[in-house]
Structure formats: structure tokens, C-alpha cells
Structure 1
């Protein structure tokens, strides 16, 4: 289905596998994104406060500092192996989360999910980078990035509805089952590395050094991911506390956010190569700023605050999808290692934002977190303006 968006100038292996790989990543993203969307529900189930679970989420995000190590491993594995091993790890982490009865065990489960998803994402990104020239990479990675929106639109929404009918543990169990199925068809269906993409050739390029432009790219990712995390860890608590919304209601909001992200992903896939990846990413981050300022001003009115939230999340998605192809060039000759470095800074940005965002919400309500988000989005625009001049 998704292959129709790629013409004959793209390699056949990419066109034939892009749909199944996007579906696999959708399942993995659903497990990864479930906790922030239902943070208040999970905190209640574990018998802890929201800000304490926010600390646990920050600790799990700090595991992103291991992403460079994961990237070095992924660079030496066959691309297909990296992908199915990562998916199996995500399923194991989701299963552990479903079985957890203590916040420490739940935190470990989140770490397993996060690092396993990094392994899969690096394998997928390198698989595409091996086969698609940089000039065409924005469209391909924009299509696969639909899975980020799909993980929320289809995956988290479905897991949330199951949570409303049963509990959040069953929701995680459903996610784990979907990822196991995805791992099976990736292992069986995705082709192995091409003869001229063997491990010896890749090792010759792993030692490439990150330049000034690469450092600015990863700094921009840090600011952008931190800004989005502020919203992701507070919106469900805001909806429940301010408007007494049920888990079913939150699931419907998540569906709307996912739909907005889907539109943003497809738009980024269409325009990022044409506009320039740095410019497109900056435009998305810039749109976030007025949206979150409106959310801060109208957080007591659902008709005002909710549309502002959806626009801000969609703008973030447009920005991050445009950003991703830049990661494949951060470390010359080592696409997986460069993406790993970008993921490391992105997860570090989320970890950095999780604690102050939940603290601000618990102590000051929803007026203050969006202001923090706006400041971080503005930093993203500033950094990208310097990247485009490199």
C-alpha cells in the first residue's frame, strides 16, 4: 500500500518492504508511547503519585545514553537481525511492564522497551540508508515515520480502549502480542544485507567523526524532544483533573492527536526534501510556539486548550520527521551510529524534561508546562537556523 508513494527511482527492496516495516514499527511505537499517554492511570495502578512516576519515566529515558553503544552493535549486525532482535526486546519489555507490581520493575520494563526500540529503529534506518541516496531519503523516512503517528492513532488508542474495559496491564499485553507477530514476519520476509553492504565495509566507516553541523543537529533534537515530552507527560493528567475525563475519553483524544500526527507525517514526507530538511524542521518547531502559548492561556477551557494541544503535537511530528534524515549524515559513513547519537540526545532531552514538566503540573497546574514547551521549541528554531547556515 505505502509503496505507491515511491516511484521507480527507489530500489525495489525498499518499495516491496516499506509497508510491512512501517507496520512493525507502528506496533513497537505503540508499546513505547503507551506509558506517557496513560501516566495517571498507571500511577494509580502502581499506587504512586504522578510526579514520582515522572521520575521513573525520566530514569527510563536516561537509558537513551546507551543508544550510542546500541548503535555500535546495530552497525555490526545484519540490518534484518537488528530489526527482529529489537522487536523481540520490545515485546519482552511490554510483558514485564504488564506483570510489574513495583515502580522499580516498571522502570526496568520501560528501559527494555526503549533500548530495544532503538535497536529496531537503527536497523530500519540503516536498511533504508544503505539503499536510498540522501537526496531521496526524506520521503522514505517520512513514510516509515507514519508509524509514530500510527502507534498513537491505532496502537495507543486500541490499548487505551482495552485499558478502559479491563486495566492497563492487559493493554500492555495486547501490545506485546502485536510486536511478537511483527518480529516473526520481519525475520521471515525482509531481505538480508546486499553483498556490497557486508560488515567489513561498514566497519571501515564507523570511525567517522561528528562535525560542527552534526553537533548542532543533535542539539536541535535534544531541544525538540524535550519540548514534546513536556506535553506528553502532562496532557492525560490535565484532561482527567481539569475535565474529569475517563480512560475512554483520553483514548479518543489520543486518537485525535494520532490523526493530527498522521497528517503531519505525510506532509513532512511530501515537503521536507523539497523545502530542505532543516527548514522544514524549523517550521514545525516554530508552529509549536503559538499553539502551546494558546494552551497555557486557555487550559481551563476544553474547546480552546484541546485544539491547541493537537496542533502543537502535529507541529512537533512535522518537525521530527523532517529531522530524522539528518541523523543518517551526522557521522559520515556510519548511518546507524549517527542516528544512535541523535536518538541518545533525543531521549536525554525527554528525560531532562520529564521531571520539571510533571513537577510544574503537580504544583502549578497546566498553565506552566506549556510555557516550558514554548521555550524549548524556540531553542530548536534557533539551533536549526544555525544548522541551515553551515
Structure 2
């Protein structure tokens, strides 16, 4: 029986990545005015991002299961995952390499490396091997993600990128519902190693579909007569905003579990329900960004998302012991964060003239620093003063983000 369900999971994964018409297809969200290579390959690209995101998001929900399998503590596993996060610090270097090289080659290397990293995690017998595999996978994912966005930049003018990037970023929320869910089934039926193997198979399938379909004659960096630009001073407003935005998200993302358990007596099942609801609203927010960011403007969209974060965290800090305030405000916070982050990506890729990978890489690197640093800050605040500590930290970080992105908007007028 277990074997039958296992095989059905793999068949389902393969079918979903190859389907030509389905409710899960994404190209229907763009019209014929977009470049043909983008329209024809959007489904494959989104599925590739979805499965790479699932591989990246799989470990945290199953951290205790993996820890038992490696005979280590949850705290030790947390250190291994933190090490993986630091791979994002290589984003600026990888961004420069993508700018100068072949987009498809960069995506291919990224997808192959993700697959190998996931296989490495699945076969790890020590914590060190697992940490190295997660670091390798995270770095490969940065390369794949950057190359994908830069390829989009090559084919879609700046004023219209918000919609395409928004559609692609729905893969973050859907990776929880589809990818992590399938990997979770494999974990429940067999082991966490099987979960990683399912992810590796999915990445290999979508990688083959992407590489075989993207037009190779348009894979190189476009020939430009303009001089390649350098990072402008106002670009640091965006990098700092990414640092603060990701830091604010981490303040609540890493503490809401113990917060809701300690204050409201939430069980594991209740927390899973909260995670599913958060994933749903992440999806809503990503779709919303894809529809309005180009109309509102990227800077205004980021600012409005950050303002929602401020409103939500103020309410949470004011009533940290009231569940019917804290839970819906957490949902509002995640919606604001997702909206701001998705809106920021096309903005970041346009910071450095003719070098989208540099601006995007620096933004991702800054965000990675924010996540890593405030992981420790948030947990320390929670231990010392309770849930109001990380909530107030998120208020401050979100408010400063609003200020910085407003300064950037003024500087580009």
C-alpha cells in the first residue's frame, strides 16, 4: 500500500510538471503582448521555481524528524539550516556571473546543483554532511533564481515586469501546498530521506523540461551599446530595505510557533493549520502583486506592503496575549511582507543599468543577512521579554523600510 501511494506521488509530480492545460498552469495570466519565449515557457519556469522552493522549504517543518534520523538535537539542526542561509551571501558574485554569461547555462548549472544538493541531504549520515548539502543547495538556488529573473528582464521591459515576476513568485506559496506536501507524504510513508529524493526527482524533471524548451539563441546577455553601469548611491536604500524587510519577517516567522503554543495552547495540528492559511494568503498576495505593481509603481507597492506590516505588528505588540488579534494580524503581516517582497524584485533587478543580476544579487544578499542576524535577535528577545519583543522589533524594522523605500522613490523622480 505504501509503495502504491509512493508511486502515485511520483506520477502526480511528473504529470503536473508536463501538463499542457490545467488549473495549475500560469501562462493564462499573461496576454499575447508579452514576448513569445516568455509566454511559451512561463509554465515550465514557474514549475521549476516551485519545486526548487519546495526543496528549500522542506527541512524546517520536518526539522525534528530529520534530527532524529541523524541522531542530533533540534538546536544542532537549526545551526545546520542557518549555515545554509549564509549561502545567500554569495548572491552579488553569482549575480555578476549571470550578467556576463549565458542565462540558460547559469540556470542549468543551478538546477543540476540543486538536484545534487538535495541528493546529498537525502544521503547524509552526519550533521556536517547535511549542513554542507544544504549550503550547496541554497547557493545553487540563488544561481537558478537570479538567472531566471535576469532572463525575464532580457525579454520583458521594466514597466511590465511586475506582472511576470508576480506570477513566477506564486511558486513560493504553491511550493508549500504541492511540493512540500508531496515530499511530506513520502516522509510519512517511508522516511525524510525519501522526501528529499522526491524533490530531487522533481527538480531533475523540471530542469530537463526547461533546458529543452528555452530558446538557445536568446540565452546570452543582449548586446548593448550602453556602458555597463555601477551601483548608484540610491540603490543602497533598496539593499537596506531588503535587509530590514527580511529581518522583520524572520522576527515573527521564527517565533510565532512558540508564541502561539505558549500563549494560546496551540497544538501541532493547530500550528499546521496556521501554516496552511499563511501559505494561502502568500499566494493571494503574490497574485495581487502581479496584477497591480506595474500600475501602482514598484516603489509605491513595496511601501504599501511594508505599511501593512507596520499596522499588523503594532496590533500584535499591543495585544500579544489575545489570539483573535495575534493570529489574523500575523496573516496580515505575511500578506504585506509577500506583497512588498515580490514588488521589490523587479525594482532590484533594475537598480544597476544593463546589469540586472548585480542589483538582484546584492538585494538577495542583504535580505539573507537580515534573515540570519534577526534569527538570533528574535529568539533572544522572545526568551528575555516574551512575544512583545520580536513584535516590536518587527514594527521598527518595517517602519524603517517604509522610510527608506520612500527616500528611494524620491531619489528616482
TM-score w.r.t. structure 1 length?
0.89
Counterpart for residue 151 of structure 1: 175
Q: How does 1:228-377 map to 2 (within 5 A)?
A: 228-239=249-260, 243=265, 245-246=267-268, 249-377=270-398
Q: Which of 209, 213, 229 is matched with 1:185 structurally?
A: 209
Instruction: Give the structure 2 partner of residue 99 of structure 1.
Output: 123
1:140 is aligned to 2:164: yes
TM-score, normalisation: structure 2: 0.84
2:378 matches 1:386: no
Which residue is 1:27 aligned to? 51
Whole-angstrom CA distance in 1 between matches of 2:68 and 2:258? 11
Distance 1:56 1:340, change over 3 A: same
* Mean Cα deviation higher: 339-348 or 350-359: 350-359
Distance 1:305-1:35 versus aligned 2 partners, 3 A rule: farther
Check whether the contact 1:2–1:19 (CA below 8 A) recurs between aligned residues: yes
* Pairs within 5 Å for 1:154-165: 154-160=178-184, 162-163=186-187
Alignment partner for residue 201 of structure 1, among 205, 211, 223?
Answer: 223
Q: Structure 1 residues 265-274 or 105-114, which shifts more?
A: 105-114
Q: Which is greater in Rg?
A: 2
CA contact (8 A) 2:101 2:220 kept: no
Question: Which residue is equivalent to 2:108?
Answer: 84
What is residue 152 of structure 2 aligned with on the other side? 128
Q: Is the 8 A contact 1:157 1:251 kept in 2?
A: no
CA distance in 2, matches of 1:235, 1:360: 13
Unaligned runs of 5+ in 1: none
Match of 2:30?
6
Which segment drifts farther, 43-52 or 325-334? 43-52
Partner Cα distance (1:156, 1:238) in 2: 24
Distance 1:103 1:381, change over 3 A: farther
SS at match of 2:387: helix
Cα 1:138–1:101, aligned 2, differ >3 Å: closer, same or farther? same
Please, which of 110, 115, 118 is the counterpart of residue 142 of structure 2? 118
Q: Distance in 2 between matches of 1:335 and 1:273?
A: 18
> SS where residue 212 of structure 1 aligns?
coil
Computed over aligned residues only, the root mean square deviation of the Cα atoms, in angstroms, reads 2.6
Deviates more, 1:231-240 or 1:104-113: 231-240
CA shift, 1:31, in A, is 1.5
Change (3 A) 1:291 1:151: same
Alpha-carbon distance in structure 1 between the residues aligned to 2:31 and 2:187: 41
